[in-house]
Amino acid sequence: MTALTFPAKFDYLDEIRDFVGDQARASGFNERDIYSIQLAADEAATNIIEHACDGIPEASFELTCDFKKDRLVITFFDHGKSFDPSKVAQPDIKADLSDRKIGGLGIFLMRKLMDEVRYEITPSGNLLTLVKRKG
Amino acid sequence: MEVTIKEFKHCNMVSVTGRVDSATAPQFTQALDDQMDKGVFKLVVDMSALEYMSSAGFRALLAAQRNCKRYNRGEVFLAKVPDRIREALELAGFTELFKTFADPLEAVGNF
């Protein structure tokens, strides 16, 4: 299992995308799925940095990315603030320009791009799991 | 990520290259804000050399579109949107908020 630790800073998003992208490519995903995987991972990491680790000095999180059987499983583990995903309003993608709310877009995209998105609050931290099955 | 501006008679073109994510979105936002601060509300965002854009970039586009369309003074067109980015914009429900053109100069000509 390949596990990396990243400081909770946006500067590392490039590396995070490269890491999951390389794993996805090596596992035989097509270019469209590789992009989706990278985007989902970016949105996940961004939320951890922006929200979970907000205000926590020197915060970091752990990332794993492994191909098992027919699926890529990516996990993010942070030690920051937990949240309740069910309390995040879904963006109304049919609303017109002035009514369009921008919050919740990251979570919304993750759910659309990946086959499974699971969030668990554990005693030691928050575990986010993203799964993409090879088409 | 780099932004270059090209001025035309009726609009300005904002060409964004590279990757727009939460790290680089502030620069992209700044470039769009600079145009609007100068009173330019007719903008073509040329994506021909854009490799990647996350929701941070979508947010910047949305804010610019709202501002430009206010008082009917202008609009943001998207040009040469790469397939992957278009797919993500579709997922986010953003494609109906922007007129898109295959060619940046065609977009310019539509103002």
Who's near B103: CB < 8 A, 6+ residues apart? B79, B80
Contact A101, B58 (CB under 8 A): no
d(CA A133, CA B15) in angstroms, rounded, equals 35
Distance, C-alpha A32 to centroid of its chain: 17
Contact B2, B27 (CB under 8 A): no
Interchain contact, A112 vs B87, CB within 8 Å: no
- Asked whether residue A102 carries a pLDDT value surpassing 80, the answer given is no
* Closest alpha carbon within chain B to A108: B92
- Asked whether residue A117 carries a pLDDT value surpassing 80, the answer given is yes
* Closest alpha carbon within chain B to A111: B91
Residue with tokens 């320009």: A97
pLDDT computed for residue A54 by the predictor: 94
Interchain contact, A46 vs B65, CB within 8 Å: no
- Kindly report the nearest CA distance between residue B66 and chain A, in angstroms: 7
Residues of A in contact with B97 (CB under 8 A): 97, 100
What CATH code would you report for A3-133? 3.30.565.10
For B21-65, how does the pLDDT look when each residue is reduced to its tens digit (9 = 90+)? Answer: 999 999 999 999 999 999 999 999 999 999 999 999 999 999 999
ipTM of the complex: 0.96
- Domain borders along chain B are 2-109
Mean pLDDT lowest among A16-30, A61-75, A88-102: A88-102
Chain A / chain B CB contacts < 8 angstroms: 61
CATH class of the B2-109 domain in this structure: alpha beta
Flag whether residue A88 sits within 8 Å of chain B, measured between CB atoms: no
For B72-82, how does the pLDDT look when each residue is reduced to its tens digit (9 = 90+)? Answer: 999 999 999 99
Flag whether residue A65 sits within 8 Å of chain B, measured between CB atoms: no
Contact A84, A32 (CB under 8 A): no
pLDDT computed for residue A94 by the predictor: 87
Interchain contact, B93 vs A94, CB within 8 Å: yes
Of B23, B59, B84, the CB nearest to A10: B23
Q: Which amino acid is at B22?
A: S
